[in-house]
Amino acid sequence: MTNVRSETGPRLNSRPKTVAFANSKGGVGKSTLALLMGLGLATRHRDASVNLIDLDPQATTSDSLRRFCDSRFSVVSDSRNYASGSPNNENIISHIHSQQSRRFKKRFVVIDSPAGIEPIKSSFLFHCDVLLIPTSVSDADIFATRRYVGKLHHLFQSHDNRQTFPPPALIILPNLVDSRDEFNELRFALQNERAYLGKPLYYSPAFRRAFREQRNDDNIRTIFKQAQPYTLWLTSLLTQSHRLEKRPKELFQL
Ligand SMILES: Nc1ncnc2c1ncn2[C@@H]1O[C@H](COP(=O)(O)OP(=O)(O)OP(=O)(O)O)[C@@H](O)[C@H]1O
Ligand SMILES: [Mg+2]
């Protein structure tokens, strides 16, 4: 595990495909989905390197994924810089843009962020292709998600031509869903949001064991078997992110 710091310095005119999982609300599935995305990309794209940046001082994701690290899959965490309660933007941005190894054709960066980060303090978000915002269907989570999306729009309004890349596509990801009816309820509650709405990830007890170290990694195997179509769809969001460049004027279901 290394700190979020580039050795090669930023190269701001090209960058790897980058996704951040974020929501001001805790416990909505940011880390679980970051795990699915990180390992899913590494499994699907053998010619790519995958770098997971864990911004959570609790380091749940990085601690549990460290055992999968090799020359192609790496995890970095930034706990030292979290005393201030805000991410160390310069280091994160520098890390996103650091040069990839010549051994790999592509590079993906997956960022897992902790609850409670204010968008206004997160300039690294400008450097992502896709911003995935998990939410459960509970009223409290929906309320927080709406507020969070509003703050993101406010942040990205300040985007100007000095920035090399357009702001990321905003995709709300319904998680911990119980039934199709519940998903429809959520869609209705979010109908006025100017964002994409992802496919629902249903509640499954297997996800409760996602961060456990088990012999033979049976828990991870079970999750990937169960969530295979979902993971395929999730990873395609990043690889096909150019298709999401048009910003929806109202909720647009993917
Ligand atoms: N689809 C699901 N089905 C069942 N349990 C789930 C599902 N998604 C996440 N969980 C569980 O919900 C809890 C919260 O998930 P997770 O830690 O990924 O959320 P988080 O948004 O990263 O939380 P935090 O804000 O604390 O970082 C965990 O115990 C996780 O195992
Ligand atoms: Mg988390």
Tokens found for residue 75: 């995890």
**Ligand 1 atom showing the smallest separation from residue 112 Cα:** 22
Q: Provide the number of structural domains found in the chain.
A: 1
Cα(237)–Cα(254) distance, integer angstroms: 10
Candidate of 21, 31, 39 to mutate for ligand 1, largest count of ligand atoms within 8 Å of Cβ: 31
Q: Which of 89, 158, 161, 168 is nearest to 126 (CA)?
A: 168
End-to-end CA distance of the chain: 35
pLDDT digits (tens, 9 = 90+) for 13-40: 568 999 999 999 999 999 999 999 999 9
Candidate of 133, 138, 203, 207 to mutate for ligand 1, largest count of ligand atoms within 8 Å of Cβ: 207
Q: Which residues span the domain enclosing 211?
A: 17-253
Residue 11 covered by a domain = no
Q: Which of 174, 168, 170 is nearest to 188 (CA)?
A: 174
Tokens found for residue 122: 């997160």
Alpha carbon of 134 to ligand 1 centroid (Å): 10
Residue 2 covered by a domain = no
Tokens found for residue 77: 């965490």
Residue 6 covered by a domain = no
- Give yes or no for a contact between 51 and 109, defined as CB atoms under 8 angstroms apart: yes
pLDDT digits (tens, 9 = 90+) for 73-102: 999 986 665 434 465 888 888 889 887 778
Residue 176 covered by a domain = yes
Residue 1 covered by a domain = no
What's the pTM value of the predicted model, to 2 decimals? Answer: 0.92
What are the phi and psi torsion angles at 171 (to 5°)?
Answer: -130, 120
Residue 185 covered by a domain = yes
CATH number of the domain that 152 lies in? 3.40.50.300
Find the farthest-apart pair of alpha carbons in the chain and give their distance in angstroms, rounded.
51
